[in-house]
Chains A and B, each alone.
Chain A
Amino acid sequence: MSADAWSLLLKALWETLYMVVSSGVVSFALGIPLGVLLYVTRTGRILENTLTNRVVGALVNAGRSIPFIILMVAIIPLTRLLTGTSIGTTAAIVPLSVAAIPFVARIAESALLEVPGGLVEAAQSMGASPMQIITRVLLPEAKGGLINGMTITLVTLVGYSAMAGAIGGGGLGDLGIRYGYQRFDGVIMLATVTVLIALVQLLQTVGDRLQQHYDRSH
């Protein structure tokens, strides 16, 4: 592979990492609280509220049912509002985050549902407030499941980020399509795929290790 190709690959890797990590952080920061909201407002949970649960649940479902490629185009006004532009790597972070938030919310909700109800009850018997139950009991006890969910999200984001090429986001997927597919450059195609596989493997391994570290209970 030529020096040119190497620098192309490195640049694309950097762009992918930038998009995945940024949108990952944004989607965790917003998706986890949303997942907590979905959990606590469920019937029989600590802040039962059917209306809130239905509305938020419907929004989350809607978000998850829109194909990413359409979402990307559909929210261009929002992207422009937030980043000042509708194309480029930074601009791609917006649709990636928006796509991942509902995904993270559902994953967080199901991780919380795994926490035995008896623990919440025990905390209530100690006089814990709903906020204390969330921060001291639910989230720490769901940590293993949450880490698992984050790993899945990041891996999914690597895949989605490939489509970000459509709005000039760059990244490994984009490189693979432009050079490998459109210009029949087999070497670059192969290199791109190899790096993507390695990246996903790395994410999964780190995620599994962390999850094992926190899940001392099982």
Chain B
Amino acid sequence: MIELKNLTKVFDSGGVKAIDEVNLCVPEGTIYGVIGSSGAGKSTLIRCVNLLERPTSGQVLVAGQDLTSLGEKALRQARHNIGMIFQHFNLLSSRTVYDNVALPLELAGASRQEIEQAVQPLLELTGLAAKKDSYPAQLSGGQKQRVAIARALASKPQVLLCDEATSALDPQTTRAILTLLKDINRRLKITILIITHEMDVVKSICDRVAIMSHGKIIEENDVEQFFLNPRTELAKEFVRSAIHEKPLAEIEARFQAEPSAGARPVVRLTFVGQGVVQPLITRAARQFNTDFSILQADIETVNEKAMGFLMVEIMGEPEAIEQSLQFLRGSPDAQNSSTVQVEVIGYVS
């Protein structure tokens, strides 16, 4: 639905290469997250998708149409097909909720009746029916973002762009807005591109995710695979932040990175779906007569699937430990690393 080809954006002022040869493909109907640290170029990237920012070179294809080749008028037309919401909502303070939502339709020259017919269901979808005649100043942040979402959907776009749409909201409101976005994605089959620096956003609603760093996309994957098997250091860091992995204070004193005689491995097990890892551990323990001491455990919901993060210390005879580890690694689930990821992160003595 959205395709970026060799996209590059250099800002004249300072000559910053904000986006560097980015290729990205967002399939129809997915929720696609782009995550990265501050200054990575995320906002610039999403603003290139509807050409609020003109790329220096490269192509932007939305619904098969190359936007960079369009003239002013055709571009305006194409933008009716791309809704956008912003971190700071950008609602018109002089208009009521209803009139804010009606704006894109007014701009497109819709009649009063057409506007009425389109706006009312959107207000209901976003839970704003009772606030129809309020002004933005009378709304909470969450309600304002709902208005912005309703407004972005008014022209029935196929694509919705969200630039840090929840960054100005508290965690509870963030959750509600994300749920709404997922709901919209399902009901209207709309493709959503989300820019964020919060891993929680990716975790709760994205199907696919890309990581940006210094203007480049350094890693891209399905979201479960991304959590299961992050490849770059930055990705690993983001995953750890999302599963709230804590430094292991209780074993820190005896922790070592390299194996040595008598040292026992500390293993991180990451898995998709419940009831995957428990039988695996039990079998390994029985078969090789080892003990698994759980140092940390966490179950997270990633894109509506349960994902587990377990950190264990394997105890027993050196031989048995090695066999248990082989067993875990050799299990069919782990081998194609589709559901279980086994990683030795260090040793304790």
Interface residues of A (CB under 8 A from B): 116, 118-119, 121-129, 132, 136-137, 140-141, 143, 214, 216-218
Contacts and interface: CB of A to CB of B under 8 A. Distances in A.
A218 B76 contact: no
Interface in B56-103: 75-80, 82-84, 86, 88, 90, 92-95, 103
A124 B52 contact: yes
B76 A137 contact: no
A136 B107 contact: yes
Most A Cβ at <10 Å: residue of B88, B104, B106, B107: B107
Interface of A is mostly: helix
B76 A216 contact: no
Contacts of A125: 50, 52, 79, 82-84, 161
A216 B134 CA distance: 10
A128 B76 contact: yes
B251 interface: no
Contact of A218 (B84, B104, B137): B137
Contact of A119 (B52, B92, B104, B106): B92
A122 B77 contact: no
B53 to A, nearest CB: 10
Contacts of B137: 216-218
Given A216-B137, A217-B136, A122 B90 contact: yes
Nearest to A137: B92
B52 A140 contact: no
Nearest to A130: B72
Contacts of A132: 107
A126 B155 contact: yes
B135 interface: yes
A131 to B, nearest CB: 11
B81 to A, nearest CB: 9
A118 B52 CA distance: 11
A123 B265 CA distance: 58
Contact of A141 (B75, B78, B86, B92): B92
A11 B166 CA distance: 63
Nearest to B148: A122
Interface of B is mostly: mixed
Contacts of B136: 217
Most B Cβ at <10 Å: residue of A116, A118, A121, A122: A122
Contacts of A119: 90, 92
Most B Cβ at <10 Å: residue of A116, A127, A129, A132: A127
B94 A140 contact: yes
6 contacts: A119-B92, A124-B52, A126-B104, A137-B92, A140-B95, A218-B137
Contact of B90 (A116, A129, A218): A116
Interface string B189-217: 00000000000000000000000000000
B176 interface: no
B257 interface: no
Nearest to B95: A140
A140 B92 contact: yes
A115 to B, nearest CB: 9
Contacts of A141: 92-94
Q: Which 9 A-B pairs have the closest CB atoms?
A: A217-B93, A127-B79, A122-B90, A127-B76, A118-B90, A125-B84, A126-B104, A140-B94, A216-B135
A127 B94 contact: no
Contact of B86 (A122, A129, A143): A122
B294 interface: no
